[in-house]
Structure 1
Amino acid sequence: MQAGRQSEAIDIACTPAPGTGRLRLLQLWNMCFGLLGIQIVWGLQNVNTSRIFQTLGAELDDLAILWIAGPATGLLVQPIIGHLSDRTRGPLGRRRPYILAGAVCTALALFLMPNATSLWAASLMLWVLTASINIAMEPFRALVADRVPEAQRTAGFAMQVFFIGIGAVFASALPWMLVHWAGLSGQPEPHLLPQSVRTAFYIGGVCLLVAVSWTIVTTRECPAPPRLPEEAMPPHVLSPERAASLVRHGVAWMLAGAGIAGAAALAGWKREIYVVAGICFLFGLLQAVVVRLRRLGRSSIGMLEIVEDIRSMPALLKRLAIVQFFTWYGLFAMWIYTVPALALRHYGTADPTSPGYNAAADWVGVLFAGYNGVAALGALLLPGIGERLGRRATHALCLVFGAVGLVGFLLVEDPLALWLPTVGVGLAWAAILSMPYAMLAGSVPPGKAGVYMGIHNMFLVIPQLVASTMLGPLVGHVFHGQAEYALILAAAALLIAAGFALTLPPSADTGSRQ
């Protein structure tokens, strides 16, 4: 009887409101609730990773390369998971198997990472953690694109931001709360992270599993079309002109990668640049492989179809990539350097073992909780503002607020008054996490929401890879170790992104495919 009642409740939560075709508020709530747990993980990582690395002996100008795990795994994992989920069929649907598997792996990584006693171990666990959380994160975007009608997409992604904001508020402030409310130690011990940080990671793992399980149980996916066997697929015709064009582009990408690597070797640049060079070379090589397979008559080329999808992505996604490049370059700089910048400017110390530095790190956690709280509340207003101003203008305006907030971190003298610029950063974060996805959801071809959401994520992580190659030398040599200049650079990047947002095509506001 109880199982029958539960099934009935889920049916009610998964059925559109009669006569409207629109989803109920409860459906949106259940669909997005799992992001509460996922963002707790991101919040713990964003606030504590630099602190963990520096506690274990990392130098300031090494932070960027140590953070490279996040963008590198996102670049690889999200398109692959999107491609696979588009083609998955099973009792849990297309998206939910990956959400669940990623959450379980992430929870295990959360339990292990804070117990790392060496820099290499912490770096390895960061790779595992970010790969796992990307597996769980990507299908959430595709799930909303699958289930939510165009008229509700801004609201659907805004609901995601609401839970993302609430989760990040909790995660960002958790170490501070454990020190000041639970009486745990916030000071590191020899070869051991602070007790407050370790406990925060354990709590985050439990919250992740609970939140994701709620979405898995209460959300039903739309039926997916049956898969065609390979022999039943229509032949893929590649004209000689198209094949020659793909080969030329592939060779150009390989030459670019080799050129970047060669220049890095001659100039003695840091090792981060070889990651970018390798990505360029691999993308070019894969284009040549695709052409070869198609010429052999292969109708299905597996995950290499991602390369073709990148080459034929919608025009809006190409233009949006420019906006996202500058946006996420600025965000990456903010996440890496806010703690050392405010520790030096407001607490007068650059020593990660000092009480002042750890007090600054705890306070930055509270500030990051603040901007996520603003984002959670601001997300509730974005659908209405987006209808009046349009998605493009709304996104640009919020990015400008974010740039002003980043500069405000350095202009405000009293650390307790840093709440004011935090509001600007929070408004930008609300738009960054919702508006691009609402613009994109209606422009992708049917049946490819997963892979194109994953490809879109590539344009979030590529700027982070570029930033990881540039920010270390910039801060260490050009800025002479003054981390606050990295925040000014981040503000400039957000202003450039705002300008490009205004140049997006009108389909960004209407949700049409062009």
Structure 2
Amino acid sequence: MQKKTQPQLSFWQIWTVSFGFLGVQFGFALQNANVSRILSDLGADLHSLSLFWLVAPIMGLIVQPIVGAASDRTWNRLGRRRPFIFVGAIAAAIGMFLMPNAPLFVAFMAPMIFGALMLALMDASFNVCFQPFRSLVSDMVPPEQRNIGYSIQSLLINIGAVIGSILPFVLTNVVGLENTAQAGEVAPSVVWAFYIGATVLLGSVLWTVFRTKEYAPKEYYAYKGVSAEAAEAELAEKKSIGERLSDFFALVKTMPTTMRQLAVVQFFSWFALFIMWVYTTPAITQHIWGIDKIWWDSAHLASVAVVPKFVIDAKGAAGDWVGILFAAYSVFAALFSIVLAKLADTLGRKTVYAGALFLGAISYMSFLLFQDLEQVNVNLFITQVTVPAGAVNLLLPMIGVGIAWAAILAMPYAMLAGSLPPEKTGVYMGIFNFTVAFPQIVSGLLSGLILSAVFDNNAVYIIVVAGVSMLAAAISVFFVKEDVSEYEGAQSL
């Protein structure tokens, strides 16, 4: 059928479509910066942290393809993608309220296990939100605005990440809440940060849900050049679970070559990111605050009556500073997102993507260079703190990490979107999430073993491994071939 021209959106319409990402990423940033800290305080030892973090990619692996396929087949009064975004946000907020309160549920189960269950709930819910958001942008934004659409999405993600990452630090150093906790407890600053994050998540998602109007089915199919009758007939077709699984694996088998090639880039990128999220806190606590690795050994912790105050204080200060570092890379990512679309249009997506990943690789490797225990006073405008000079110097590699993060959030989806059949965008975006979840699962299974067996639990060296992985990702970009017409053969599935 003849394809109708999809109307262009105004800047603020594109902004509104993606605005909920700000809140979802706010919650995700709180999780990334604080879950290792929470689980350590609740009793997890160093080499097992990555195993607890496996919950996140496993939830993504299971949830996103299911939600993607379901949202492709959903047309109701609220829309196509928005019902899933709305429900996912409510569930995520519940998990965020409950997780830092794990010690209160000790009568029912061990706090560490309860924390892990709430981590699973949050991650499942974040994934229910994330996947339809990706597809919503693809649905609503016309092809000629795709670079700017995903760049705005990246900008909002990083604004949310900045606020979420820095919040526990602000609550400690500006508001005055306590940032330390004995074993089996969670610091008050972290507890309140999760409460605030849950509120922001709900508010921003509701803004998108109630201020974005998705296209009606026939209008949508006309804009995408798809026969409405054929699409509706397929939606009406009743299939067993076995048949749907068969169709799903057929789609995986016949996925566009662009997706297969991007999967290699994604593997090395997300392998590195997972290591950063899990091990930055222990890495800088050891390497820059000078705390011996024995204080992450659960057996040693169980053998002492009270953890020394200098260890508790250092872990609290380092945990807060990780929030500053993660906020910094998110600031740099947000700034880079502003020029990302223009650079991609001028230099080409592959050049910008590979260059950004290369900067991220060098930045991870440079962590080794910033061991300076001298205490310095730092003015952060909102407050002044005294931290080791090496901690301040780590702000420099955060520039490269932020640039890489902005590119990872935008470029793969911009490169992929043109090669997907419009009536199956949701399920293919869900399949593409395998390339996000699978490398994190591999990283979770291997990084703890590498850390203990190869590096004797000196966590800074596993950050260097992340740099090597990111360098491999940069090289892999040049093997990706973009093809906007490749999906034609898959449309008959």
The answer (yes or no) to whether the contact 2:182–2:312 under 8 Å persists in 1 is no
Q: String of CA shifts for 1:441-493, please: whole Å, max 9, x gaps.
A: 11101201101111111111100111111111110111111111111110011
How many angstroms does 1:21 deviate by? 3.2
Whether contact under 8 Å (2:94, 2:198) holds in the other structure is yes
CA distance in 2, matches of 1:224, 1:48: 42
Q: What residue is the counterpart of 2:455 in the other structure?
A: 479
Shift of 1:304: 4.7
Does the aligned pair in 2 maintain the 1:75–1:457 contact within 8 Å?
yes
What is the Cα deviation at residue 144 of structure 1? 0.8
Distance 2:9 2:247 in 1: 32
Decide whether the 8 Å contact of 2:86 with 2:209 is kept in 1: yes
| 1:332–1:464 CA contact under 8 A, matched in 2 | yes
> Which one of the candidate residues 304, 317, 323 is aligned to 1:365?
323
Match of 2:276 in 1: 334
Query: Is the counterpart of residue 494 in structure 1 residue 465 in structure 2?
Result: no
Is 1:141 paired with 2:134?
yes
Question: Distance between the aligned counterparts of 2:452 and 2:418, measured in 1?
Answer: 43
Residues 98-155 of structure 1 show CA distances to partners (whole Å, capped at 9, x for unaligned) of 0000000000110000001211111111111100111011101001111111111111
Q: How does 1:389-428 map to 2 (within 5 A)?
A: 389-413=347-371, 414-428=390-404
Distance in 1 of aligned mates of 2:246 and 2:193: 40
User: Where does residue 320 of structure 1 map in the other structure?
Assistant: 262
| Correspondence for 1:309 among 246, 251, 262 | 251
> Within the alignment, does 1:130 sit opposite 2:103 as a pair?
no
Instruction: State the Cα deviation string for residues 223-282 of structure 1 (Å, max 9, x = none).
Output: 225664679759x9xxxxxxxxxxxxxxxxxxxxxxxxxxxxxxxxxxxxxxxxxxxxxx
Q: Residue 75 of structure 1 is aligned with which of 61, 66, 89? A: 61
Task: Report how far residue 512 of structure 1 moved.
Answer: 4.4
Note the C-alpha offset of 1:194. 0.3
Confirm or deny: 8 A CA contact 2:39 2:112 kept in the other structure: yes
The answer to whether the aligner puts 1:167 opposite 2:160 as a matched pair is: yes
Counterparts in 2 of 1:142 and 1:360: CA distance versus 1, 3 Å: same
Answer with 469-478 or 182-191: which moved more: 182-191
Partner Cα separation in structure 2 for residue 206 and residue 155 of structure 1: 28
Q: CA deviation at 1:311?
A: 1.2
Contact 2:367 2:464 in 1 (8 A): no
Q: Is residue 52 of structure 2 the alignment partner of residue 66 of structure 1? A: yes
Pairwise mapping of residues 17-166 of structure 1 onto structure 2 (< 5 A)? 21-117=7-103, 118-166=111-159
The unaligned stretches of length 5 or more in structure 2 are 104-110, 219-227, 297-310, 372-389, 488-493
Q: 1:196 to 1:224 in 2, by over 3 A?
A: same
When residues 119 and 218 of structure 1 are mapped into structure 2, their CA distance, relative to the original with a 3 A threshold, is same
Given that 1:80 and 1:303 are in contact with CA atoms closer than 8 Å, whether structure 2 keeps it comes out as: no
Distance 1:374 1:360, change over 3 A: same
TM-score between both structures, scaled by the size of structure 2: 0.84
CA distance in 2, matches of 1:383, 1:116: 43
Distance 1:190 1:65, change over 3 A: closer
Higher relative CO (CA 8 A, sep ≥ 6), structure 1 or 2? 2
- Residue type of the partner of 2:159? I
Would you say 1:458 and 2:434 are equivalent positions?
A: yes
**2:344 aligned with 1:386, yes or no?**
yes
Instruction: Measure, in 2, the Cα distance between the counterparts of 1:122 and 1:190.
Output: 14
1:408 Cα deviation after fit: 2.2
Determine the C-alpha separation between the residues in 2 that align with 1:191 and 1:32: 38
In structure 1, C-alpha distance between the alignment counterparts of 2:368 and 2:154, rounded to whole Å: 27
Per-residue deviation, 1:303: 5.2
| 1:395 shift after superposition | 0.4
CA separation in 1, counterparts of 2:78 and 2:339? 33
Distance, in Å, in 2 between the alignment partners of 1:103 and 1:219 is 16
* AA aligned opposite 2:251: D
The whole-number CA distance in structure 2 between the counterparts of 1:229 and 1:493 is 45
Distance in 2 between residues matched to 1:442 and 1:231, nearest whole Å: 23
Q: Distance in 2 between matches of 1:364 and 1:410?
A: 16
| Percentage of pairs with the same residue | 42
Task: Name the counterpart of 2:189.
Answer: 196
Contact 1:83 1:303 in 2 (8 A): no
Cα distance in structure 1, aligned partners of 2:234 and 2:476: 42
State whether residues 375 and 426 of structure 1, in contact with CA within 8 Å, keep that contact through their aligned partners in structure 2.
yes
Q: CA deviation at 1:57?
A: 0.9
Q: What letter matches 2:486 in structure 1?
A: R
Distance 1:475 1:467 in 2: 11
> Match of 1:187, SS?
coil
Q: What is the alpha-carbon distance in structure 2 between the residues aligned to residue 93 and residue 21 of structure 1?
A: 18
- TM-score between the two structures when normalised by the length of structure 1: 0.81
Q: Indicate if the aligned counterparts of 2:181 and 2:312 stay in contact, CA closer than 8 A.
A: no
Mapped partners of 1:232, 1:98: distance in 2: 20
For the structure 1 residues 214 and 402, does the alpha-carbon distance in structure 2 shift closer, same or farther, using more than 3 Å as the test?
same
SS of residue paired to 1:419 = coil
Q: Give the secondary structure class of the aligned counterpart of 2:217.
A: coil
Relative to structure 1, the CA distance from residue 114 to residue 65 in structure 2 (aligned partners, 3 Å threshold; closer, same or farther) is same
1:412 maps to a residue whose letter is F
In the alignment, structure 1 segments of 5+ residues that lack a partner are 1-18, 237-288, 294-300
Query: What secondary structure sits across from 1:222 in the alignment?
Result: coil
1-side partners of 2:317 and 2:89: how far apart?
31
d(CA) in 1 for partners of 2:211 and 2:24? Answer: 17
CA distance in 2, matches of 1:305, 1:416: 52
Q: 1:513 aligns with which of 477, 486, 489?
A: 486
What letter matches 1:354 in structure 2?
I
* Cα pair 2:43 2:184 within 8 Å, conserved: no
Q: Give me the whole-angstrom Cα distance separating, in 2, the residues matched to 1:129 and 1:303.
A: 26
Q: How does 1:219-258 map to 2 (within 5 A)?
A: 219-225=212-218, 228=232
The CA RMSD over aligned residues, in Å, is 1.9
Structure 1 counterpart of 2:285, which letter?
A: A
Counterpart residue identity of residue 17, structure 2 = M
3-state SS in 1 of match to 2:75: coil
Cα distance change, pair 103–20 in 1 and its aligned pair in 2 (3 A): closer
Equivalent positions of 1:424-463 (< 5 A) are 424-463=400-439
For the residue of structure 2 that corresponds to 1:185, the secondary structure is coil
The total of aligned residue pairs comes to 431
Report the residue type matching 1:328 in the other structure. W
